[in-house]
Amino acid sequence: MVLLVFVLASLSAAIGYMAAGMLNHGQIQAEREDNRLSNELERKELNEFMQHVQTVASNVDEKVDQHSLNLATINDDIVKVQQPDPKVVLRAVKQLFEANVQLHGELTTAQQQIEDKQVQLESYMTEARTDQLTGVSNRRAFDEEIHRLFTLLERRPSDLCLMMADVDHFKLFNDYHGHQVGDEMLQRVAATFERSTRSCDIVCRYGGEEFAILLPRTKLPDALRVAERGRVAVEALQCDFGEIELHVTVSIGVVELRPGENIAAFVKRGDAALYAAKIAGRNCVWHESNDGTQQLDEVMATVEVPVDHRTGLSIRPRCGNMVG
């Protein structure tokens, strides 16, 4: 009989630890979500999540307390028995089993509720950081990512480049062909930039027809290769709209992060490089460098250039540099 009481007590403790562990896990998850999402979600959404977790935690706490009381009652009933009675033992085992099953089901339900809410939050976060038209990251995501990258660079210095790209003459294109065609063209340009970059690169629609692309762990020569590859790919797009085949080009400015430079100065130089590309005649890659044109020429020699099949001649991309 003493052995049975000991076993029941051990099972009770195990169930209590399991419940406490699951409850603590939910609290830890809530704290992590709070820290991770506090700067990403609107306060209303965050408060709703926290209230939901607190409600679930309170319900679980009540269920655990009730379970403990049930186990204590079962133990008391067994201790009161003077002579071993198989019926009492069997009834106690049955009650213990039913109590454990009930608590397990309630804990599983609580865990599922938290997971469902977490999925909703992650979906909201993704939507909040995604441009609804093109499907790439939006300006909000760009601001968050560039701050995140700068924070990482403070702890572990590395290379970082920025591409600022703009669809040439897009307002005229949009006015002439209509907004629906213009929207579809922006979608194709965005998809082209994503295909032209690595999975770790961050392609964002910066605003209107302008895109910003962050290139972590990338030096300027490599960034120029990426930029020219993207420019050529956009120029080669064949977009059929009914019986009309339309083409667009992009101008791209590329800059590399300087030691000690802040975000505002970095982005400002990217804008200046893009402006220089437009002034230079558009449909080109422009960068800021103190090394003259030699570095750019070396880069361009490694880039595959399209061939005009009518003449058999290579079409040399128009690129240049601005002296910083």
133 in a domain, yes or no?
no
Contact 252, 274 (CB under 8 A): yes
pLDDT averaged over every residue in the chain:
76
41 in a domain, yes or no?
yes
Q: d(Cα 116, Cα 161) in Å, to the nearest integer? A: 38
The residue from 128, 150, 173 where one domain ends is 128
Contact 144, 40 (CB under 8 A): yes
Residues 121 and 53 in one domain: yes
100 in a domain, yes or no?
yes
The residue from 128, 158, 181 where one domain ends is 128
Question: Which one, of 173, 159, 292, 132, lies nearest residue 215 by Cα?
Answer: 159
Residues 73 and 201 in one domain: no
What pLDDT does 132 receive? 92
Q: What residue spans of the chain are helical by DSSP H?
A: 2-37, 43-80, 86-128, 139-155, 170-177, 179-195, 220-235, 263-279, 294-300
Determine which of 161-165, 208-212, 316-320 has the lowest per-residue pLDDT on average: 316-320
Residues 48 and 114 in one domain: yes
Mean pLDDT along residues 77-89:
67
248 in a domain, yes or no?
yes
Residues 119 and 171 in one domain: no
Residues 172 and 89 in one domain: no
Residues 195 and 304 in one domain: yes
Q: CA 193: distance to chain centroid?
A: 18
Contact 162, 270 (CB under 8 A): yes
Check which CATH number belongs to the domain holding 163 and give it: 3.30.70.270
What pLDDT does 103 receive? 74
What pLDDT does 210 receive? 97
| 172 vs 40, higher pLDDT | 172
Q: Which residues are catalytic?
A: 209
pLDDT tens for residues 98-129? 777 777 777 777 777 777 766 766 666 667 88
244 in a domain, yes or no?
yes
What pLDDT does 10 receive? 47
What pLDDT does 298 receive? 44
Residues 170 and 301 in one domain: yes
What pLDDT does 109 receive? 76
pLDDT tens for residues 227-247? 999 999 999 998 888 778 899
68 residue type, one letter: S
Torsion, Cα 208 149 126 55, to 10 degrees, reads -140
Q: d(Cα 233, Cα 213) in Å, to the nearest integer? A: 15
Q: d(Cα 37, Cα 45) in Å, to the nearest integer? A: 10
Is the Cα dihedral 137, 143, 149, 151 positive or negative? negative
Percent of the chain residues past pLDDT 90, beyond the cut = 45
Check which CATH number belongs to the domain holding 36 and give it: 1.20.5
Residue 153's pLDDT band (cuts 50, 70, 90): very high
- 59 exposure class (CB count in 10 Å sphere: 0-12, 13-18, 19+): middle
Q: Tokens 């999540």 sit at which residue?
A: 49
Question: Which one, of 218, 48, 207, 69, lies nearest residue 136 by Cα?
Answer: 207
Residues 148 and 123 in one domain: no
Range of the domain at 49: 2-128
What pLDDT does 120 receive? 66
Q: d(Cα 57, Cα 74) in Å, to the nearest integer? A: 26
What pLDDT does 196 receive? 94
214 in a domain, yes or no?
yes
pLDDT tens for residues 4-31? 444 444 444 444 444 444 444 444 354 4
The DSSP letter of residue 164 is E
Contact 50, 34 (CB under 8 A): yes
Cβ atoms within 10 Å of 43's Cβ, excluding its own = 8
Residues 101 and 178 in one domain: no
170 in a domain, yes or no?
yes
Q: CA 140: distance to chain centroid?
A: 12
The residue from 64, 96, 128 where one domain ends is 128
Residue 81's pLDDT band (cuts 50, 70, 90): low
What pLDDT does 124 receive? 61
Q: Nearest 5°: phi and psi at 191?
A: -65, -35
Residues 65 and 10 in one domain: yes
Residues 73 and 194 in one domain: no
Contact 169, 234 (CB under 8 A): no
| 27 vs 160, higher pLDDT | 160
Residue 289's pLDDT band (cuts 50, 70, 90): low
**Number of domains into which the chain is organized:** 2
Whole-angstrom CA distances from 47 to 36, 51, 150, 208 are: 14, 6, 29, 33
Residues 157 and 269 in one domain: yes
Is the Cα dihedral 146, 223, 279, 288 positive or negative? positive
134 in a domain, yes or no?
no
| 72 vs 244, higher pLDDT | 244
What pLDDT does 152 receive? 95
Residue 35's pLDDT band (cuts 50, 70, 90): very low
